[in-house]
Chains A and B, each alone.
Chain A
């Protein structure tokens, strides 16, 4: 396994190799407190150590403010922008409909081998994007964990 990984030019994953990556420019522009974002990402990682990626994304700009990933060198910028677009579209759809006094809480995207979950902050300004492998957790559990962290 290790030999194969070396041959492919990637190193085997170690639990200690994940680290928080911050997008300072976007963070300053967003005016969302860094401590809050760090706390959320840390809590998600503590409760779901097997996660693939967790990112905090600004809804309005689609900027990924901070992320943590097991995939080495993974840049979630494109994924963040696309998911932010999904959120904005859904928010528009809700605003256009007859539903009043409701806010978008989460969006669940279950695939066969991977689950993507979006959970919006109460302010609606930012959301957490979480991707996990289906073999490591289940949809309800991942959702409950996000719900407990971002009420």
Chain B
């Protein structure tokens, strides 16, 4: 457990764990620094802080791509990544300065459930 239940980020992580107890890893991440404000992992091999750092670059590159394509009036709602056995989801908050990173086992959770859980908690991290 790497979160304080007093902070909004920690509360969001706690709520997501309650909704998806079998998740692999979850983190609330600051886009500017790539640092996790709160994180939790159920797998010894997945370090959510490392995942946060790398996935921040994914978000930033997508934001760069959007500005290069002059997609004004658009913002990233979420990014869904399908692996062989895992689903990785990135859900940005309204301001686009924080995101929730979630990794789940594809056999235990489907994309719709994971996405819906993140949607309900995205406003907690504003």
Contacts and interface: CB of A to CB of B under 8 A. Distances in A.
Contacts of A141: 34, 53-54, 56-57
A138 B54 CA distance: 9
Given A144-B49, A144-B50, A137 B35 contact: no
B33 interface: yes
Interface residues of A, number: 8
How many of chain B's residues touch chain A, expressed as a range?
10 to 19
A9 B34 CA distance: 37
Contacts of B53: 138, 140-141, 143-144
A144 B50 CA distance: 6
Contacts of A124: none
A107 interface: no
A143 B26 CA distance: 20
Nearest to A147: B50
B104 interface: no
A144 to B, nearest CB: 5
B113 to A, nearest CB: 28
A140 B49 contact: yes
B49 A138 contact: no
Nearest to A115: B33
B4 interface: no
Contacts of B102: none
Interface of B: 32-36, 49-50, 52-54, 56-57, 60
Interface of A: 110, 137-141, 143-144
Given A137-B57, A141-B54, A144-B53, 12 more contacts: A138-B34, A138-B53, A138-B60, A139-B34, A140-B33, A140-B34, A140-B35, A140-B53, A141-B53, A143-B53, A144-B49, A144-B50
14 contacts: A110-B33, A138-B34, A138-B53, A138-B60, A139-B33, A139-B35, A140-B34, A140-B52, A140-B53, A140-B56, A141-B34, A141-B56, A144-B49, A144-B50
